[in-house]
Structure 1
Amino acid sequence: METISLFNYLKHLMDEGNISLQLSVPQLMEKVLERKEGILTDSGAISVATGKYTGRSPKDKYIVKEKSVVDKIDWGTVNQPISTDVFNRLYEKVMNYLNTKDEIFVFKGFAGADKKYRLPIQVINEFAWHNLFAHQLFIRPSKEELKTHDPQFSIVFAPTFKANPIEDGVQSETFIIISFEHGIVLIGGTEYAGEMKKSIFTVMNYLLPENDIFSMHCSANVGHDGDVALFFGLSGTGKTTLSTDPNRQLIGDDEHGWSENGVFNIEGGCYAKCINLSAEKEPQIYSAISFGAVLENVVVDNETRIPNYDDSTLTENTRAAYPLQAIENIIEPSIAGHPNTIIFLTADAFGVLPPISKLTKEQAMYHFLSGYTSKLAGTERGVTSPEATFSTCYGAPFLPLPAKRYAEMLGEKIDQHKVQVFLVNTGWTGGKYGIGSRIKLNYTRKMVQAAIEGILTKTETRTDPFFGLQIPAQVPGVPDDVLVPAATWNNEDEYQKTAKELANQFRENFKKFRSDAEEIETLGGPIK
């Protein structure tokens, strides 16, 4: 099959098949239950299990090596190249496979709340619940917008189609392939819905910077006076929890663009991790899991249909997908001005990073490129003690362009808009994991509040002896000794030893950037 015919081939199959186009949430829920793809919970959410794959499959993600992108993509283990021939053959197989199905579900919508920069997309699903997920996570068009909707990117998702690695030129039965020239994301061999969300994010992380827009893996909210705060952080650092603030309007919880006009959400919904979720700790997220929400891999009581958010039998990576409108305090449309404050979140299980510290521009760029947090013992097989983990720009798996491109855009934005940047440790204090304790969420909230309100710009600071970070001497509502890591440890020698070890791990990780980011390391890295 000639590459040029792919779009026409897609249209032909969609026209000839039994297509359910743009179904409403109630209609999709009926389909899910009728097809026995999931069950109804006591709150009106749909609960599904994704089987073998309960998370993303990064080793099975590819970008087609096409002329228009070959010199721009940061090729490697994250952005694995695949040939156009392999893609075309697999694409034809998947479309023929979908054509045998009794019913296919299609959603048309957008990525990007700012109409000037949004990407029209369509999502073609084998499963009704995947289409419900797409309806909740992406931006839904109005009836008028639907009339002129012209998709520039299409997700084709066939979870029960399993590739043959020998025949199909991929590494396993699972594949996630992005073709920028043809505007197609091809997914198969996995039922994990997050692959759709993150594939479009990868696409936007290519397209937006090409238009001088800084794409960001962060949450964002806005205060009553229009002051905007961004929250960067890896899973488990509290990004969703801290950005969902009853006193501030949520712009979005995960993916944003920063244009010459300000910040806009890329999505129309939230995909919250819900292990150990409770109404007391996270009331807004808890109440958002209502009619039409999708619960992934959450154990549900067969009789009462009440979810047990503390049960990790299926996975630690339990998830809830719901529209932004399920959160009471949001801004619509999901657009706001330029950020005043940026918060980098890390869960330091070594207990040596300050609970909050102020960063210079160079330190911000350094920690952005580093993207540090900790893996805890027991969360993965083979992890028996805390391990430092680094994810470039707090989103390495989704960055198709070289990392320095994103870091430079951050530095330019900080300079241009005089943004205050803080590093907040939501991890351990008084010792490493197993000895110390997790920093109280109430303290973290007060620190974040003080940073956003500008209180910490006037506060006296002291310099951290290992990382060169500026630690505020006081934060309203937080004991002074909590702010200084050394003051919370009982063993000074053990503290210094652990801090030196972590600083060395930062240096070791940053070696890959030294050839073109030496100045950033010199001015922003740990003290030598």
Structure 2
Amino acid sequence: MNQTGTQSDHSGLEGLDPAGTGRVFWNLGSAYLCERAVARGEVRLSHTGALVVTTGTAGQPLALARVDDAAEGGETAGATDASALTRAQFEALKADLLAYVARRTLFGQDVSVEAGPAGGIAVRILSDQAWHALVARHLLRPRATAADADVPRLTVLCAPGFRPTPETHGVAAEGALALDLANGLALIAGTGRGETLRAALAHLLAEPLLAAGVLPLEGAARTGADGAISLLLGASGAGKSALAQGMAEEDGALPRLDGALGWGDEGLVALEAGTFAHPADLATAPEAARFGTVLENIALDPATRVPDFDATGTGARIILPTATAHAPTLGAPAHLFMLVQDEEGVLPALARLSAAQTPGAFLEATGLAAPHLARLHTLLERHTPVCWLVNTGRTGGDAERRVPLEVSRRLVAAAQMGELASGEWRTDPHLGLHVPAAVEGIDPALLDPARGWANRGDYLAAARRWTQRLAAPLADKEIASGTVATPGMAVAAE
């Protein structure tokens, strides 16, 4: 293939056919990538020079598959939520994907993920979309001297136009992310969503980060007025960004981190150099839509080219380099808030967790696999944060009633500032959780959801399901350290 630009001598992807008729542009700058993305018809320009791209909604879950060399007949891998690929299936997908891109124009970026004292992890990203290369430059750190770059430990190859064959490749034709973790390779086919590229990086980085003593997380960290750091963890949609945004409004310009984070012995570090957020989670979304910002699935007025940030769905994202106000590192968290969306209305709006209860709540909030728990256990012992469970879902068995955002903000603030320390507490007899008996300005029913259930038997059954959910992840998986206790949740009594 014809290759242009500053590049490392290391390919990062064995088997890329040099005799192909395509072309590779290496490590182009942001302005050039913007120009190419527009010229190729990948994006439209907004009135401020932001790039607007349509990739579809995020309604369907990501089809994730992972090589399992021991798998036979596509059996499901037990350690993750990924379906299993045989080695033969992955190699077939890789070969066909390489043959496809060898005839096309590719954009490659040599970037780095900094993990504090652990140093940088070299990553190479290749895509047939110029805007993907721009996203890579926004979210990760371009290497200062690409020509002298280290051998890429991790490689992502993305080809949205390639449609896999399920019978041959073992993944869905509509789009999939296939992982070969042993060789640090991710293949993205049939989808161009920015979140898929980000997910590929998260899966590839987990093992090397853990090996370096860094626990990879998706969360938000804020520094309080007293200097104490709070870390909020939760799945997408749990409300961590909304809660953190409220804390940022109160704390002003105090140091904060958002997105992909690493928690190590020295504290928290930003794994990303940019922002990847839903417009609703950015207080200044219009101001963020400057030249080079990527606006994914955001409506654009065809005449004025002004983005409409209010007419967006769940798949809308704003991707841009992070402002300098975001600190690259913070100290260790004093408070660890784990956000869970309870769809049954059993959990209180806030509870303080014991050391034994924390691992199960961590897995429930983050969706991570058990190998993360050994590192979590070490960090909890080292930094001794106060651990909290925050229910941002339903309450009181009422499908229509959810815990209001302002209530969650009030409770998190009260916990963070020590307001609850001198108050009265109770131990929930069915869940075993330590719950404030009362908080000024908060409906007591939100702290004791059992009051809102019309049928006590239904409540007890739902409470039992929750205790099992919180305990099951540990019961079914071996913890590497052998020292993590099973969550101390009581089983609901009849």
Settle same-fold status: TM greater than 0.5.
yes
Change in CA separation of 1:526 and 1:47 when aligned onto 2, cut-off 3 Å: farther
Q: d(CA) in 1 for partners of 2:147 and 2:391?
A: 44
What is the DSSP-based 3-state SS (H/G/I as helix, E as strand, rest coil) of the residue aligned with 2:334? strand
What is the DSSP-based 3-state SS (H/G/I as helix, E as strand, rest coil) of the residue aligned with 1:443? helix
Q: 1:317 is aligned with what amino acid? A: G
Q: Determine which of 9, 20, 24 is the counterpart of 2:15.
A: 9
What is the DSSP-based 3-state SS (H/G/I as helix, E as strand, rest coil) of the residue aligned with 1:316? strand
Q: d(CA) in 1 for partners of 2:177 and 2:19?
A: 21
Aligned residue in 2 for 1:391: none
CA deviations over 1:108-138 (Å, ceiling 9, x no partner): 2112342524311011110111112222222
Q: 1:20 is aligned with what amino acid? A: F
Pairing 1:308–2:304 present: no
Structure-to-structure mapping, 1:101-500, within 5 angstroms: 101=104, 103-114=105-116, 116-141=118-143, 143-144=144-145, 147-172=148-173, 174-223=175-224, 226-244=227-245, 245-246=248-249, 247=251, 249=254, 251-274=256-279, 277=280, 282-284=282-284, 287-311=287-311, 315-325=313-323, 329-331=325-327, 334-371=328-365, 394-396=366-368, 399=369, 403=370, 405-429=371-395, 432-434=398-400, 436=401, 438-475=402-439, 478-479=441-442, 481=444, 483-486=446-449, 493-494=454-455, 496-497=456-457, 499-500=459-460
Structure 1: gaps spanning 5 or more residues? 68-72, 372-393
Q: 1:418 is aligned with what amino acid? A: T
* Structure 1 residue 55 displacement after superposition: 5.9
Q: d(CA) in 1 for partners of 2:478 and 2:461?
A: 22
Q: d(CA) in 2 for partners of 1:225 and 1:304?
A: 46
Q: d(CA) in 1 for partners of 2:427 and 2:375?
A: 27
What is the DSSP-based 3-state SS (H/G/I as helix, E as strand, rest coil) of the residue aligned with 1:362? coil
Give the RMSD, CA atoms, in angstroms.
Answer: 3.4
CA contact (8 A) 1:350 1:498 kept: no
Aligned residue in 2 for 1:63: 67
Q: d(CA) in 2 for partners of 1:321 and 1:55?
A: 19
CA deviations over 1:14-66 (Å, ceiling 9, x no partner): 9x853322222222222222111121234543221114x74675434223538
Q: TM-score, normalised by structure 2?
A: 0.83
CA contact (8 A) 1:218 1:233 kept: yes
Aligned residue in 1 for 2:31: 26
Change in CA separation of 1:25 and 1:178 when aligned onto 2, cut-off 3 Å: same
Aligned residue in 1 for 2:52: 47
Q: d(CA) in 1 for partners of 2:355 and 2:285?
A: 33
* Structure 1 residue 296 displacement after superposition: 2.0
* Structure 1 residue 511 displacement after superposition: 4.1
Q: d(CA) in 1 for partners of 2:405 and 2:209?
A: 34
Q: d(CA) in 2 for partners of 1:250 and 1:37?
A: 36
Aligned residue in 2 for 1:36: 41
* Structure 1 residue 236 displacement after superposition: 1.6
Aligned residue in 2 for 1:380: none
Q: Determine which of 79, 82, 90 is the counterpart of 1:79.
A: 82
Pairing 1:503–2:463 present: yes
Q: d(CA) in 2 for partners of 1:282 and 1:37?
A: 25
Aligned residue in 2 for 1:381: none
Q: Percent identity, please.
A: 25
Change in CA separation of 1:13 and 1:500 when aligned onto 2, cut-off 3 Å: farther
**Which has the larger share of helix?**
1
CA contact (8 A) 1:239 1:253 kept: no
Change in CA separation of 1:140 and 1:453 when aligned onto 2, cut-off 3 Å: farther
Q: d(CA) in 1 for partners of 2:25 and 2:467?
A: 53
Q: 2:392 is aligned with what amino acid? A: T
Q: TM-score, normalised by structure 1?
A: 0.78
Q: d(CA) in 1 for partners of 2:80 and 2:387?
A: 31
What is the DSSP-based 3-state SS (H/G/I as helix, E as strand, rest coil) of the residue aligned with 1:136? helix
Aligned residue in 1 for 2:5: none
Change in CA separation of 1:472 and 1:177 when aligned onto 2, cut-off 3 Å: same
